Amino acid sequence: MPLAKAPIKEKIILGIDPGTSIMGYGLILISGKKITLLQFGVIHLSKYTGHELKLKKIFERVTSIIEEFQPDEMALEAPFFGKNVQSMLKLGRAQGVAMSAALAREIPITEYAPKKIKQSVTGNGNASKEQVAAMLKTLLKIETLPKLLDGTDALAVALCHHFQGGSQQSGNKSWKSFISDNPGRVK
């Protein structure tokens, strides 16, 4: 009797490139060693007045993406240190709201530094947005690149997460697993 092959594990990764004017998102499906592009794009936020309304729209849109695609993991680009404290605060809030949408559904989250993402995808931590997009065009067989590269940046985050071994190997866990692993640390 022949041995049965183990079923191929599939995983959907949602990548997010946080922003307060434009937020990029990208979804890839990992099936064995095959990587398939599901969708990528941008969430336009500059048309909304008031930071609170932008945060609400980020939460609503990321939640709808999660509901539609049911990702297994989320990866985000960590904000880099900037000179404008107000801009950094707003960017951190945008990232936090996107994370909240995933945490509400117990989706594990991992953050990556911009240089780590570029290094992982192109082999060069100082690659330009255009170089990252060109590499993704080849790797994911994207026919036409969009004008705004925030969506391809988000795809790069998802791909970096896959190349880094995903959340299980990076040590990030859901809050639920943290609580079960550490009952004495939670009150």
Q: Determine whether 77 is an active site residue.
A: yes
Catalytic position from the list 17, 73, 111, 153: 17
Q: Determine whether 52 is an active site residue.
A: no
**CA 179, CA 176: separation in Å to the nearest integer?**
5
**CA 90, CA 94: separation in Å to the nearest integer?**
6
Annotated binding-site residues read 17, 77, 150
**CA 21, CA 19: separation in Å to the nearest integer?**
6
Annotated binding-site residues for Mg(2+) read 17, 77, 150
Catalytic position from the list 73, 111, 150, 153: 150
- Contact status, residue 77 vs residue 157, Cβ threshold 8 Å: yes
Q: How far lies 59's CA from each of 43, 101, 138, in Å?
A: 11, 6, 31
**Active-site residue numbers?**
17, 77, 150
